[in-house]
Amino acid sequence: MILFQEQILRVAMAVAGFSASAADQLRRAMSRARSSADMEKLRAPFVEGARAKGVGDDVAHEIFRQIAAFAEFGFCKSHAAAFALTAYHTAHLKLYYPAEFYVGLFNNQPMGFYSPAVIAGDAKRHGVAILPVDVARSKEKAIVEECSHADDALHPVDSSNTIARRRTCRVHDVRLGFESVKGLGASEAEGIVREREMNGPFTGFDQFARRVGLKEEALRNLALLGAFDAFGEARRELLWRARDAHRTSPAFTRPALALPTSDAPSLPTLTEQERVALDYRITGIPTGPQIMRFYRADLDRRGVLTAAALAGVSDGATILVAGAVVVKQHPETAKGHVFLSLEDETGMANVIIRPATYRQHKRVLDANAAVVVTGTLQSVDGATSVLATRLDGLALFVKIAAREWQ
């Protein structure tokens, strides 16, 4: 089966005795606008050359027919083969080397169809924890880290997802790197790792600030992400002290303005939802629960299904599903149809929006990062999607629902 143009050269040389230049003429004829006519001119030389090499005319004509057919749709064949091989390799890596697979994706952003947040959600649903940036463990980029029993306790997979049962300990997880932090570039990340390797581990927030000499924004973001949690100091207190700590570094260009580190007042601890929101804002990669989990109790009361639950719904049923909008496609060839991918804590849901529905709810979709979709479930060959009839902004939907329940 001919898949690539280069194989045409090999066939022509092996079967018909074409020289390399003559075979290349055959290949180039396939790429012209009038390829059928140009190809037909080369049929007789091909058959004659094949005959001279002991190949029967019938066989030679059949081989040439296959070559000519390749000229009509070979581009599709070659792409299908290339994508199939990539999909096979990807599936193998994801099954047998999941942590390494996800590290490769994180360290080659921006790329592909999905954002890092979606990749993180997929990793968690497949039993791979995403561990936060840590000044004692992180490298410049994401790395594979072998978990311990303590890590399992600190970073459990969302128990509401039946797919993502953590395997026995000693599995590999993903530790995020310094370069994922907003305000930290490659040079700053390299500086942190180099300082730690040359002069020993960091022992506290203030010592870290003096030794590394980061700007205030970078210190604040590391504190808010929990990079100093191992030192036993609250994140909000470190945020309060970040400015003074920054000025104690020898790298601070105006030492005359340096002030002693001030004690932080008593501040409330960050909630789990606040920590997730900070992950999204500072790295774009949530290490804790997927954001939809915090709405789940309210959504359950209104009968909004999870993405995973759609597989058990009958074709044609009217349902509600909600999620963060992670992909929005408006292909020119789709005649005005819009396609959404929604993510919740259990997986992904595909949504189809007809042109009239899209025009009616475009403002809702443009103004909201997460939506509730009312629609009809469609199930074809095991693949499910929702044909939308209505879209509502998630925050407003939950707020109205809360008033109704009071």
Convert the pLDDT of each residue in 365-376 to its tens digit. 999 989 999 999
Compute the chain's Rg from CA coordinates. 29
The percent of residues above 90 in pLDDT, for the chain, comes to 47
pLDDT at residue 155 above 70? no
Res 405: pLDDT: 38
DSSP letters spanning 10-79: HHHHHHH---HHHHHHHHHHHTSTTHHHHHHHTHHHHHHHHHHTT--HHHHHHHHHHHHHHHHHHHHHHH
Burial string for 319-329 (b: 16+ CB within 10 Å, else e) reads bbbbbbbbbee
Same domain, 88 and 126: no
Going by pLDDT thresholds of 50, 70 and 90, the confidence category of residue 43 is confident
Q: Which of 38-52, 94-108, 342-356 has the lowest mean pLDDT?
A: 38-52
Q: Into how many domains does the chain fold? A: 3
For 200-255, the pLDDT digits (tens) are 999 999 899 889 888 889 999 999 999 999 998 888 888 888 877 767 666 665 55
- How many beta carbons lie within 10 A of that of residue 133, not counting itself? 27
Average pLDDT, the chain: 84
For residue 134, tell me if it sits in a domain: yes
The answer to whether residues 263 and 315 belong to one domain is: no
Q: Which span out of 62-76, 150-164, 371-385 was modeled with the highest average pLDDT?
A: 371-385
Average the pLDDT over each of 10-24, 182-196, 214-228, 315-329 and give the range with the smallest value. Answer: 10-24
Which of 149-153, 184-188, 212-216 tops mean pLDDT? 184-188
State whether 270 and 342 are in the same domain: no
Domain boundary pick from 223, 248, 282:
282
Is 289 among the domain residues? no
- What pLDDT shows up at residue 156? 44
Say yes or no: 250 and 390 in one domain. Answer: no
pLDDT of residue 157: 43
Which structural domain range is residue 59 located in?
A: 5-94
Q: Same domain for 368 and 238?
A: no
Write down which residue in 236, 258, 282 finishes a domain: 282
In a domain, 288, yes or no: no
- The domain boundary, picked from 260, 282, 304, lies at 282
